[in-house]
Structure 1
Amino acid sequence: MRPQIILFGDSITEQSFRYGGWGASLTDTYSRKADIVVRGYGGYNTRWALFLLHHIFPLSSTMPPVAATIFLGANDAALPGRTSERQYVPIEEYKENLRKIVRHLKECSPTMLIVLITPPPIDEEGRKEYATSLYGEKAMELPERTNEVTGTYANGCVEVAKELGVASINLWSKMQETQGWQKKFLSDGLHLTPDGNGVVYEEVVRVFKGAWLSATEMPSDFPHHSEIDPNDPQTVFQQRRL
């Protein structure tokens, strides 16, 4: 059985198998090496994600995933008193929820590679344009998210990763290193363009390679066709003890 890598998060993870998506790119990279399992839930914050842990990462599993990405926080960082306030989670609760998630995953498998990914930056003007396209004149003038507040959550995510000794990707900082990141990486001020997905993919692969999960070093699940003797096909399979 191929090892599993689970991508757990909100809509940015749920959409990762769309054209140009970072999850789809990971599936291509780890083809015949590992199964990429997407568990993304649009609109979810860390408070709601906690209810899914035992379903997605059951402690009774005899084959837990070898790695998991935890990509949450974009919804937690919604501002109270604005249009998305139902998703808001205070920063300290957000950090504690991440701790609970990481501790559960470590209990599920002490050897699991856990990667926390911060929310991406927010293009406030892009969010306003998106709201106007949906609601017209009824759109609120004030943004439901700001880049500054989201940055606080990103920093909190990195702090928790360091505290618990797991890997992290500061997507909020990484994307802002590129001039014109607002339109290059974000489609609606929050969700990712193909270029934005590319950044996530490259960062995840970098972390995986830096740990022990390089696709090029992992065995394929069955022999390459060039290894099969057409006159004695069973031998190579017997040698692999499949």
Structure 2
Amino acid sequence: MRPKIYLFGDSITEESFCSGGWGSSLAHHFSRTLDVVLRGYSGYNTSVLNGSGGGTPLKPLRLVPNEEWWGGGGVPELCATSFLFCLQNQWPTTLILLMTPPPIDEEGRLKHPYVENATGLPERTNEAAGAYAKACIEVSGERGIPVIDLWTKMQKFPDWQKVYLSDGLHLTPTGNRVVFEELVVKLRENSLSLEKLPVDLPLISEIDTKDPLKAFEK
């Protein structure tokens, strides 16, 4: 049976299978070696995800950044810890890889609010996203879980607000590319790479046209 990677998270995960998305790029990258399964739930936060599980064993790849939007959310460290405890308790042998929230462009959120916003304040802040990113990294370190720090990496580049984010939160094609490339590197570090994974069924170059069944007997 082919191994599977489950992408578990919020709208950034849900949109990852759009054209040029990091999820679809990952599926294409591993097309002959494993299956990439989408479990993205727009608007969900860790409290909701803790109770859902997505209905299937998971190899989660995102810690959702919707805590602040849900009326202030909770303590970042507690949200991250409870989320990981739930996953590790239910699937103790599954490799878990976390990604922090990306940074938030507050000006972009004011221009693209979910609902009419008369307060003049963004419903999310980059400071809060940074707090959850920090908690994600710290808790991952305590539990020995690999993590990708999107919040820090993206802000190292000039004009990241427009280059990587389409509406102050969700990713542009360039932002999706960054996530995909970071994932490939981190997965390779954890023994998930094209070089180490067996190919699903023989390659066409390995099949003898005069005796095609022979290649399937190996």
Interval containing the TM-score (normalised by the shorter chain): over 0.9
Identity %: 46
- The list of structure 1 runs, each at least 4 consecutive aligned residues, that deviate by more than 4 angstroms after superposition, is none
1:220 maps to 2:162: no
Tell me, in whole angstroms, the C-alpha distance in 1 between the residues paired with 2:193 and 2:4. 14
1:97 maps to 2:82: yes
Q: Which amino acid aligns with 1:43?
A: G
Tell me, in whole angstroms, the C-alpha distance in 2 between the residues paired with 1:34 and 1:109. 20
Deviations 1:7-41 (A, max 9, x none): 11011101000011000000111011000011010
Structure 1 stretches lacking a partner, 5+ long? 58-64, 79-83
> What is the aligned counterpart of 1:147 among 122, 126, 142?
126
Tell whether the 8 Å contact from 2:26 to 2:180 is kept in structure 1 after alignment: yes
Structure 1 residue 134, shift from structure 2 partner: 5.8
Structure 1 residue 139, shift from structure 2 partner: 3.6
Q: Which amino acid aligns with 2:199?
A: S
1:12 maps to 2:3: no
Tell whether the 8 Å contact from 1:121 to 1:173 is kept in structure 2 after alignment: yes
Match of 1:75 in 2: 66
With normalisation by structure 1, the TM-score equals 0.84
Match of 1:235 in 2: 214
Tell whether the 8 Å contact from 2:63 to 2:80 is kept in structure 1 after alignment: no
Distance 1:22-1:115 versus aligned 2 partners, 3 A rule: same
Tell whether the 8 Å contact from 2:10 to 2:42 is kept in structure 1 after alignment: yes
Match of 1:37 in 2: 37
Q: Which amino acid aligns with 1:89?
A: G
Structure 2 stretches lacking a partner, 5+ long? none
Match of 2:95 in 1: 113
Deviations 1:65-112 (A, max 9, x none): 6xx23312310133xxxxx52x723324312322323423xx5242x3
Deviations 1:99-150 (A, max 9, x none): 323423xx5242x32111110100000000112x963xx5431111110111
Secondary structure, aligned partner of 2:60: strand
Root-mean-square deviation over aligned CA pairs = 1.8
Tell whether the 8 Å contact from 1:98 to 1:160 is kept in structure 2 after alignment: no
Secondary structure, aligned partner of 1:100: helix
Secondary structure, aligned partner of 1:69: coil
With normalisation by structure 2, the TM-score equals 0.93
Structure 1 residue 228, shift from structure 2 partner: 1.1
Structure 1 residue 217, shift from structure 2 partner: 2.5
Tell me, in whole angstroms, the C-alpha distance in 2 between the residues paired with 1:175 and 1:70. 17
